[in-house]
Structure 1
Amino acid sequence: MNYRSLFLLGFFISLFSSQSLKAQGPPLKYPSTKKIEQVDNYHGTKVADPYRWLENDVRNSAEVKDWVEAENLVTNAYLAEIPERIKIRKRLAELWDYEKFSTPVVREGRYFFTRNDGLQNQAVLLVQDGLEGKPRILLDPNTMAKDGTVALSSWIPSDDGKLLAYGIAEAGSDWHVWRILNVDTGAQLTDELRWVKFASPAWTPDAKGIYYSRFDEPAAGTKFQGLNLNQKVYFHKVGTAQSEDKLIYKRPDHPEWGFQTEVTEDGKYLLITTWKGTDHNYRVTYFDLTKKDSQPVDLIDNFDNEYSLVGNDGSTLYFKTNYKAALHRVVSIKLENPEPANWVEIIPETKEALQGASLFGKQFIASYLKDARTLVRMFSIDGKTSSEFPLPGIGTAGGFGGRQNASETFYSFSSFATPPSIYRYDLKKGTSEVYRTAKVKFNPDDYQVEQVFYPSKDGTKVPMFITYRKGLKKDGNNPVLLYGYGGFNISLTPSFSVSRIAWLEMGGVFAVANLRGGGEYGDAWHKAGTKLLKQNVFDDFIAGAEWLINKKYTQSSKLAIQGGSNGGLLVGACMAQRPDLFGACLPAVGVMDMLRFHKFTAGRFWVDDYGSADNQDEFKAIYAYSPYHNLKNGTRYPATMITTADTDDRVVPGHSFKFAAMLQECNKGPNPMLIRIETKAGHGAGKPTAKILDEVADQMGFLFKNLGMKPD
Structure 2
Amino acid sequence: MTRTLIAAASLLATVSMPLSAQDMTAPDYPETRQGDVVETIFGEQVADPYRWLEEDVRNSTEVAAWVEAQNVVTDAYLENLPARDWFASRIGELTDYERFSVPVARGNRYFYNRNAGLENQSPLYVRDGLDGEPRKLIDPNEWAEDGATALGGWVPSPDGSKLLYSVQDGGTDWRILRVMDVATGEQIGGDVRWAKFTNLAWVGEDGFVYSRFPEPEEGEDFQALNMNQAVYYHALGTEQAEDEVVFSTPDHAERNHTAGISDDGRWMMIISSTGTDARYEVHVVDLDARDTRGWRAEPLITGFDNAWSPIDSVGSRLFFTTNADAPLYKVVSIDMDDPDAGWTEVIPERDQPIASASLVGGHLVLEYLEDASSSAYVYTLDGELVRELEFAGLGSAGGFGGSPDNAETFYSFSSFNRPSTIYRYDVVTGETSTFAAPEISFDPEDFVVEQQFYTSKDGTRVPMFIVRRADVAASGEAAPTLLYGYGGFDVSLTPGFSASRLSWVEAGGAFVMANLRGGGEYGKAWHDGGRRANKQNVFDDFIAAGEHLIAQGITPEDGLAIQGGSNGGLLVGAVANQRPDLFAAGNAAVGVMDMLRFDQWTAGRYWVDDYGYPDREEDWRILRAYSPLHNIQSDTDYPALLVTTADTDDRVVPGHSFKYTAALQAEDLGERPQLIRIETRAGHGSGKPTDKAIAEAADILGFLGYWTGLDAPE
TM range (shorter): over 0.9
Partner of 1:542: 543
**SS of residue in 1 equivalent to 2:127:** strand
Q: Which amino acid aligns with 1:670?
A: E
Aligned-pair CA distance for 1:315: 2.3
Specify whether residues 9 and 618 from structure 1 end up closer, same or farther in structure 2 by C-alpha distance, changes over 3 A only: farther
Alignment of 1:178-327 (within 5 A): 178-205=177-204, 207-291=205-289, 292-294=292-294, 295-327=296-328
Q: Say whether the 8 Å CA contact 2:83–2:711 is kept in structure 1.
A: no
Aligned-pair CA distance for 1:428: 4.2
Alignment partners' CA distance in 2, 1:13 and 1:453: 36
Alignment partners' CA distance in 1, 2:315 and 2:668: 64
**SS of residue in 2 equivalent to 1:560:** strand
Alignment partners' CA distance in 2, 1:413 and 1:507: 26
Partner of 1:344: 344
Render the CA deviation track for 1:3-25: whole Å, top value 9, x for unaligned: xxxxx9768999x9x8xx49667
Q: Say whether the 8 Å CA contact 2:377–2:385 is kept in structure 1.
A: no
Q: Say whether the 8 Å CA contact 1:22–1:708 is kept in structure 2.
A: no
Alignment partners' CA distance in 2, 1:10 and 1:688: 26
Q: Say whether the 8 Å CA contact 2:258–2:270 is kept in structure 1.
A: yes
Partner of 1:685: 686
Q: Which amino acid aligns with 2:34?
A: K
Q: Which amino acid aligns with 1:642?
A: V
Name stretches of at least 5 consecutive residues in structure 2 with no aligned partner. 1-10
TM-score by length of 1: 0.96
Q: Say whether the 8 Å CA contact 2:635–2:667 is kept in structure 1.
A: yes
**SS of residue in 2 equivalent to 1:612:** coil
Alignment partners' CA distance in 1, 2:617 and 2:213: 31
Partner of 1:519: 520
**SS of residue in 2 equivalent to 1:75:** helix
Aligned-pair CA distance for 1:334: 2.1
Render the CA deviation track for 1:180-237: whole Å, top value 9, x for unaligned: 00011111112311000000221012x1111111111100111000000011121110
Greater shift, 579-588 or 390-399, is seen at 390-399
Alignment partners' CA distance in 1, 2:436 and 2:15: 33
Alignment partners' CA distance in 1, 2:708 and 2:309: 45
Q: Which amino acid aligns with 2:682?
A: A
Render the CA deviation track for 1:687-707: whole Å, top value 9, x for unaligned: 000000100010111122222
Greater shift, 436-445 or 568-577, is seen at 436-445
Q: Say whether the 8 Å CA contact 1:475–1:554 is kept in structure 2.
A: no
Aligned-pair CA distance for 1:88: 1.8
Partner of 1:81: 80
Aligned-pair CA distance for 1:637: 0.9
Q: Which amino acid aligns with 1:690?
A: D
Q: Which amino acid aligns with 2:210?
A: Y
Specify whether residues 13 and 33 from structure 1 end up closer, same or farther in structure 2 by C-alpha distance, changes over 3 A only: closer
Alignment partners' CA distance in 2, 1:670 and 1:438: 44
Render the CA deviation track for 1:395-434: whole Å, top value 9, x for unaligned: 1111110011112111000111112111111234311122
Greater shift, 470-479 or 369-378, is seen at 470-479
Alignment of 1:18-57 (within 5 A): 21=20, 27-57=26-56
Alignment partners' CA distance in 1, 2:172 and 2:25: 39
Alignment partners' CA distance in 2, 1:331 and 1:26: 59
Alignment partners' CA distance in 2, 1:13 and 1:372: 37
Render the CA deviation track for 1:292-342: whole Å, top value 9, x for unaligned: 234221111111000100011222211110010000001002234435x72
Alignment partners' CA distance in 2, 1:536 and 1:556: 23
Aligned-pair CA distance for 1:268: 1.8
Question: Is residue 638 of structure 1 aligned with residue 639 of structure 2?
Answer: yes
Alignment of 1:2-17 (within 5 A): none
Q: Say whether the 8 Å CA contact 1:22–1:706 is kept in structure 2.
A: no
Question: Is residue 172 of structure 1 aligned with residue 171 of structure 2?
Answer: yes
Greater shift, 646-655 or 281-290, is seen at 281-290
Question: Is residue 91 of structure 1 aligned with residue 122 of structure 2?
Answer: no
Greater shift, 579-588 or 181-190, is seen at 181-190
**SS of residue in 2 equivalent to 1:251:** coil
Question: Is residue 112 of structure 1 aligned with residue 101 of structure 2?
Answer: no
Alignment partners' CA distance in 2, 1:117 and 1:68: 35
Alignment of 1:611-626 (within 5 A): 611-626=612-627
Alignment of 1:454-493 (within 5 A): 454-472=454-472, 477-493=478-494
CA-based RMSD of the aligned residues comes to 1.7
Greater shift, 376-385 or 473-482, is seen at 473-482
Partner of 1:495: 496
**SS of residue in 2 equivalent to 1:666:** coil
Alignment partners' CA distance in 1, 2:668 and 2:319: 55
Partner of 2:675: 674
Alignment partners' CA distance in 1, 2:464 and 2:112: 33
Specify whether residues 362 and 710 from structure 1 end up closer, same or farther in structure 2 by C-alpha distance, changes over 3 A only: closer
**SS of residue in 2 equivalent to 1:290:** helix
Partner of 1:448: 448
Alignment partners' CA distance in 1, 2:12 and 2:249: 57
Partner of 2:7: none
Aligned-pair CA distance for 1:518: 0.4
Alignment partners' CA distance in 2, 1:543 and 1:532: 19
Partner of 2:585: 584
Alignment partners' CA distance in 2, 1:22 and 1:49: 40
Partner of 1:380: 380
Q: Say whether the 8 Å CA contact 2:613–2:619 is kept in structure 1.
A: yes
Name stretches of at least 5 consecutive residues in structure 1 with no aligned partner. 1-7
Partner of 1:406: 406
Aligned-pair CA distance for 1:343: 0.9
Aligned-pair CA distance for 1:147: 1.1
Q: Which amino acid aligns with 1:75?
A: T
Render the CA deviation track for 1:416-455: whole Å, top value 9, x for unaligned: 1112111111234311122111112111111111100000
Question: Is residue 604 of structure 1 aligned with residue 600 of structure 2?
Answer: no
Question: Is residue 561 of structure 1 aligned with residue 562 of structure 2?
Answer: yes
Question: Is residue 64 of structure 1 aligned with residue 63 of structure 2?
Answer: yes
Alignment partners' CA distance in 2, 1:273 and 1:243: 24
Partner of 1:156: 155
Q: Which amino acid aligns with 1:500?
A: R
Aligned-pair CA distance for 1:384: 2.9
Aligned-pair CA distance for 1:668: 2.6
Q: Which amino acid aligns with 2:459?
A: G
Alignment partners' CA distance in 2, 1:567 and 1:119: 27
Q: Which amino acid aligns with 1:275?
A: S
Greater shift, 644-653 or 274-283, is seen at 274-283
Q: Which amino acid aligns with 1:293?
A: R
**SS of residue in 2 equivalent to 1:540:** helix
Q: Say whether the 8 Å CA contact 2:14–2:85 is kept in structure 1.
A: no
Alignment partners' CA distance in 2, 1:117 and 1:27: 40
Partner of 2:130: 131
Alignment partners' CA distance in 2, 1:35 and 1:475: 50
Alignment partners' CA distance in 1, 2:25 and 2:384: 70
Alignment partners' CA distance in 2, 1:393 and 1:408: 24
Alignment partners' CA distance in 1, 2:24 and 2:308: 58
Greater shift, 449-458 or 700-709, is seen at 700-709
**SS of residue in 1 equivalent to 2:299:** strand
Partner of 1:369: 369
Render the CA deviation track for 1:41-77: whole Å, top value 9, x for unaligned: 2222221111111000000000000000000000000
Partner of 1:3: none
**SS of residue in 2 equivalent to 1:132:** coil
Q: Say whether the 8 Å CA contact 2:604–2:651 is kept in structure 1.
A: yes
Greater shift, 382-391 or 142-151, is seen at 382-391
Alignment partners' CA distance in 2, 1:494 and 1:608: 27
Partner of 1:4: none
Question: Is residue 703 of structure 1 aligned with residue 704 of structure 2?
Answer: yes
Q: Say whether the 8 Å CA contact 1:199–1:212 is kept in structure 2.
A: yes
Greater shift, 585-594 or 382-391, is seen at 382-391
Q: Say whether the 8 Å CA contact 2:314–2:404 is kept in structure 1.
A: no
Which structure's relative contact order is higher, taking Cα pairs within 8 Å and 6+ residues apart? Answer: 1
Q: Say whether the 8 Å CA contact 1:22–1:707 is kept in structure 2.
A: no
